[in-house]
């Protein structure tokens, strides 16, 4: 019986330690994405290059809903008048516009970078 109790306590401690480590990792601020010079030389849109250099494609795809809406859906819903609002949403995160799954904030991203990303996304409007 004592061996079972000791084993239970040991497993509980390990479980709590792993959860604590996971929570700490999720709070790590990602570096601001940078579009490299090769992308500009190849004619790739700077906003697209910035999206590809960030963690955006983990939750969003161009024309298919994943965790969040597709970029096509965002482009169809918003206009160029919404660039500042959408850039702020990228930086601040939030939920409610596309359901209850929250968008992760990107607090380390500059407003200029977020605006370039949004401007590219809005070019996908059908």
All structural domains of the chain with their residue ranges: 2-122
Give which of 58, 62, 60, 65 is closest to 30, Cα–Cα: 58
The secondary structure element, H or E, covering residue 64 is: none
Please write the tens of the pLDDT for every residue from 13-26.
444 433 333 333 34
Stretch 4-9: mean pLDDT: 48
The dotted CATH code for 2-122 is 1.10.760.10
Confidence of residue 105 (pLDDT cuts 50, 70, 90): very high
Stretch 20-33: mean pLDDT: 47
The model's pTM: 0.70
- In whole angstroms, give the CA distance from residue 17 to residue 22: 9
53-62 long-range contacts (CB < 8 A, ≥24 apart) are: 54/30, 54/106, 54/109, 54/117, 55/30, 55/104, 56/117, 59/103, 59/104, 62/124
């Amino acid at each position: 019986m004592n061996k079972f109790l000791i084993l239970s306590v040991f497993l509980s401690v390990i479980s709590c330690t792993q959860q604590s480590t996971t929570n700490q990792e999720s709070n790590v601020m990602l570096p601001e994405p940078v579009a490299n010079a090769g992308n500009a030389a190849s004619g790739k849109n700077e906003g697209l290059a910035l999206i590809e250099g960030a963690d955006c494609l983990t939750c969003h795809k161009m024309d298919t809903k994943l965790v969040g809406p597709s970029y096509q859906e965002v482009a169809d819903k918003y206009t160029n008048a919404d660039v500042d609002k959408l850039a702020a949403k990228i930086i601040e995160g939030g939920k409610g516009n596309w359901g209850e799954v929250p968008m992760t904030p990107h607090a380390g991203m500059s407003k200029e970078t977020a605006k370039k990303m949004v401007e590219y996304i809005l070019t996908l409007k059908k």
